[in-house]
Structure 1
């Protein structure tokens, strides 16, 4: 009778597996940022990755009179050799800049550029596109200004348009704000240096570029353009009625186009709501700086705490009415329209340590970090050193995130910097984090044993598209396991959950190290080990992997045929 019941159970399970979709894994990097791969788990949590700021070596800081004020809207770009003027991979950094006597609410806004072929040494090329004439009586000087918007209209972000069929003359694209109704326009360039302005709005919605807009092209869903902006709308994510804030309802929104940068566009939807434990009033998510990385959309919003006017030290009323501090937060989604979720309400990049001056209400430059006032993420802010290390076989364990920082608060973040606090430092920095290290799946530090586990959903392993019979499918992990910890894995039958012989915990070579590419192996005869997963490809019932770990941060797993 028990055998019959078990057979009935198996038939039900087989039908269930056949009727449900087995998740097919691809070759490459799989980030651990959510529960997409996880069926069940215990004593684990997702955490922001550890980041190390380098405040002593800013990438960009004021050197010329036309960039005495470096505004917080910045955009970063990795340019491949075939599109680079240097004929080799190159980094480009765009930033809003202004002279010492400009007020960005009353003057045109310049876009400056800097480039690097190693990520360490940066050059501000002096070009003839927009010469600097000082107060009008000085002879013209070459500048690194490559674009200029109208009064109180800001540039947004730059991206390389990878859509098939795009003309080389328009392959670089820039979003920027234009007209008093704050429409989003698109500038185009063949090289990232020489720009042509758009002649009509790219999107029909007014006020979408109220703050920095971010556009990118994603190959997902057959290829689509994604535009992140900020709208006034009656939603709970608001600073309305907050003392010191402008009387507006504002939220980060996203809109999509499957055809062109001029649409047609989908209806704008809110990217993420605010809620407990965030304070709704006087708190605002300010910046839609976005990065598409290993099929994940990372959104580095700035948590903006609005100050009351009396708490601001700004001497100009308009600045004092919109003053406060910000840090950089991290939200994630696997689809561009979200909803984006925060793993934690803690900052991803925090403000530096500062000392408040009792007279000016500002962070005092003496004894304060260079980014103590507020920080603001660059759009597409990932700088990967391996992008320019194509001749090096060993993968770099580090990558960098680009962000803007200043010793002043929002009121002096560029618009009134020279009049608000001339001595305040402002610049663009890089912060180091481990490869694939934006998020980790971690064992709980509150658990003294440091032990946790998870079982994956039913998965199938990828076939070798090259059909090379001599190649093995191998699995690596990017994990930080302490000396007192461990990491072990076994593969199980997707139907019965039974361990698969040859791939059990008893046969697994337990790992105890910190590394970005640690090979998973199982014991074979004569005490040798093998990482060959090829026998599990096309496994009839699908497979699960079951992981035990202690005192470990798991960032990603990687599948590769070698």
Structure 2
């Protein structure tokens, strides 16, 4: 147990309070470099953000009538205790021929699939809810007469709930009654009526097994949604809502759609807000989270967003809609240190971007509510995408997958001339320091040269030296600690997500228990993704 009585640095302690020398209290979770929260000094290094690598083909495509023309990631992927993956996803049937006189016509359907390896998926015959004359469906929620459209939903398994019948929780946006009209250009297809729609709102469902669900009778969040936004300002929330359970604060958090509330902005301009709840039923008033900025690309709107606990911080994906140009949606990375105040990371560059138009992966990207799934030493991001942008037909799409190195969102890069970073003062519980780093091999890299008369003249090849990462330990006042100098450290020279750091006379940090320290990383031809101080020892 850590017992020192000191003031520790927190995110909200800004100037005029001088906090740069206040220690951070860290546990055994990975410390990432997406922001500069933990960094006090940098020299001769650069921060590089990384994108996950996409699989060439979707892992899930529509094949049944109730899945329509596209499988959307308006749902959740959960890793079960057995390791099997359970995917709750949406089928988009709005472009399928329908009979409006038929009972319970809906534009979206709610489906389940399973996978043992995350690549090959099985759509089980649940035998629960028919679709037309088919009873062999994987539908887990039936069509309802008062719900024309099920919009984005989130599933949470809450093992702490004392009521077994409420441990599985789901939030679903209902678009309400009488939303659909015949398409005047093609009576076999449908369009949306202008509204308002009776029964529209965000609803809670509860389940004991994640298959059989009971609906809470009243909306847990209201909505004044209409196609033409007849009421302004819009009461309640819009339809694209994602919910997480915040394990650090023991709260349910909803990332909801609002419409830009600033004077002079279009009433239809999409933005993001945040609500919180202790019981999944009663929620706080939405608080603005993200608004498009003046220096964003023209026409950028925020169509959706997610959030999740990740190691020592919070991360999430922000769905950005290019409404003024191609109508494509892509993801930006967002981060937070307290789960309430969020920032757009990676210089607002795409985290998961778009493929060329006409290929699945190009257009309407949809987001699951869950964190990335850890598979071995990788993070797997499932997402939906279509061939073209929002409202561009045909809407043909499926579920895609992109993979990222564990903790691989950002790295501190050192070149051939050694660079370094120094952390803020740290108080810690553990003993074993590990780093996630990528030292590079020796070899011939790049070209040297000079500029003569405005032209680049090639003069040779650089012989790059092998990379390494060395860790030096300082006291809180930047003084070296004997036995933990750079000359004492055994260099890390191999790619590893958790390389133990050792010194010639110290296998771990046991000798520094109870001390406040700084870590100085010397980085040569290598990238440093994260570090952690774990509870164990190398001995």
Q: TM-score, normalised by structure 2?
A: 0.78
Pairwise mapping of residues 202-281 of structure 1 onto structure 2 (< 5 A)? 202-204=220-222, 206-207=224-225, 208-221=236-249, 223-235=250-262, 240=266, 247-257=267-277, 259-263=278-282, 265-275=283-293, 277-279=295-297, 281=298
Question: Does structure 1 residue 345 correspond to structure 2 residue 363?
Answer: no
Pairwise mapping of residues 103-502 of structure 1 onto structure 2 (< 5 A)? 107-133=106-132, 139-148=133-142, 150-162=147-159, 164-178=160-174, 179=176, 180=197, 182-204=200-222, 206-207=224-225, 208-221=236-249, 223-235=250-262, 240=266, 247-257=267-277, 259-263=278-282, 265-275=283-293, 277-279=295-297, 281-307=298-324, 324-354=327-357, 363=358, 369-385=359-375, 396-412=376-392, 420-421=393-394, 425-437=396-408, 439-443=409-413, 449=416, 451-462=418-429, 473-483=431-441, 484-495=466-477, 497-502=478-483
Q: Does the CA-based 8 Å contact 2:436-2:496 persist in structure 1?
A: yes
Residue 543 of structure 1: aligned partner: 517
The separation in 1 between residues aligned to 2:529 and 2:89, in whole angstroms, is 31
The separation in 2 between residues aligned to 1:556 and 1:237, in whole angstroms, is 43
Q: What are the Cα deviations for residues 300-325 of structure 1, in whole angstroms up to 9, with x where unaligned?
A: 112211147xxxxxxxxxxxxxx711
**Closer/same/farther in 2, CA of residues 18 and 451 from structure 1, 3 Å limit:** closer
Cα distance, 1:155 vs. partner?
Answer: 3.5
The separation in 2 between residues aligned to 1:558 and 1:545, in whole angstroms, is 11
Cα distance, 1:399 vs. partner?
Answer: 2.5
How many pairs were matched up? 456
Q: Does the CA-based 8 Å contact 1:237-1:284 persist in structure 2?
A: no
The separation in 2 between residues aligned to 1:505 and 1:331, in whole angstroms, is 35
Q: Does the CA-based 8 Å contact 2:223-2:237 persist in structure 1?
A: no
Residue 513 of structure 1: aligned partner: 494
**Closer/same/farther in 2, CA of residues 19 and 288 from structure 1, 3 Å limit:** closer
Residue 459 of structure 2: aligned partner: none
Cα distance, 1:375 vs. partner?
Answer: 2.5
Question: Does structure 1 residue 64 correspond to structure 2 residue 64?
Answer: yes
Residue 12 of structure 1: aligned partner: none
User: What is the SS of the residue equivalent to 2:243?
Assistant: strand
Cα distance, 1:520 vs. partner?
Answer: 0.9
What stretches of structure 2 of length at least 5 have no aligned partner?
A: 1-16, 177-196, 226-235, 442-465
The separation in 2 between residues aligned to 1:102 and 1:295, in whole angstroms, is 49
Q: What are the Cα deviations for residues 182-219 of structure 1, in whole angstroms up to 9, with x where unaligned?
A: 42111111122112222111135655552321112112
Q: Does the CA-based 8 Å contact 1:400-1:430 persist in structure 2?
A: yes
Cα distance, 1:400 vs. partner?
Answer: 0.9
Cα distance, 1:52 vs. partner?
Answer: 1.0
Q: Does the CA-based 8 Å contact 2:300-2:324 persist in structure 1?
A: no
Q: What are the Cα deviations for residues 34-77 of structure 1, in whole angstroms up to 9, with x where unaligned?
A: 22221122344443323111123x22101111112225343233
Q: Does the CA-based 8 Å contact 2:73-2:383 persist in structure 1?
A: no
Cα distance, 1:254 vs. partner?
Answer: 0.4
The separation in 2 between residues aligned to 1:188 and 1:252, in whole angstroms, is 26
**Closer/same/farther in 2, CA of residues 125 and 508 from structure 1, 3 Å limit:** same
Residue 527 of structure 2: aligned partner: 553
Cα distance, 1:295 vs. partner?
Answer: 4.0
Q: What are the Cα deviations for residues 219-275 of structure 1, in whole angstroms up to 9, with x where unaligned?
A: 223x1111111112423896x2xxxxxx51321100112x31112x33322223332
Cα distance, 1:345 vs. partner?
Answer: 2.1
**Closer/same/farther in 2, CA of residues 324 and 458 from structure 1, 3 Å limit:** same
**Closer/same/farther in 2, CA of residues 522 and 403 from structure 1, 3 Å limit:** same
The separation in 2 between residues aligned to 1:435 and 1:19, in whole angstroms, is 29
User: What is the SS of the residue equivalent to 1:344?
Assistant: helix
Q: Does the CA-based 8 Å contact 2:153-2:173 persist in structure 1?
A: yes
Cα distance, 1:500 vs. partner?
Answer: 0.5
The separation in 1 between residues aligned to 2:35 and 2:141, in whole angstroms, is 40
Cα distance, 1:407 vs. partner?
Answer: 0.9
The separation in 1 between residues aligned to 2:438 and 2:303, in whole angstroms, is 33
Match of 1:95 among 76, 89, 92: 89
The separation in 2 between residues aligned to 1:435 and 1:485, in whole angstroms, is 20
Cα distance, 1:543 vs. partner?
Answer: 0.8
Q: TM-score, normalised by structure 1?
A: 0.75
User: What is the SS of the residue equivalent to 1:329?
Assistant: strand
Q: Does the CA-based 8 Å contact 1:237-1:249 persist in structure 2?
A: no
The separation in 1 between residues aligned to 2:272 and 2:427, in whole angstroms, is 37
User: What is the SS of the residue equivalent to 1:66?
Assistant: helix
User: What is the SS of the residue equivalent to 2:66?
Assistant: helix
User: What is the SS of the residue equivalent to 2:112?
Assistant: strand
Q: Does the CA-based 8 Å contact 1:509-1:522 persist in structure 2?
A: yes
Residue 6 of structure 2: aligned partner: none
User: What is the SS of the residue equivalent to 2:352?
Assistant: coil
The separation in 2 between residues aligned to 1:380 and 1:103, in whole angstroms, is 35
What stretches of structure 1 of length at least 5 have no aligned partner?
A: 1-15, 82-87, 134-138, 241-246, 309-322, 355-362, 364-368, 386-395, 413-419, 464-472, 525-529
Q: Does the CA-based 8 Å contact 1:161-1:216 persist in structure 2?
A: no
The separation in 2 between residues aligned to 1:442 and 1:276, in whole angstroms, is 30
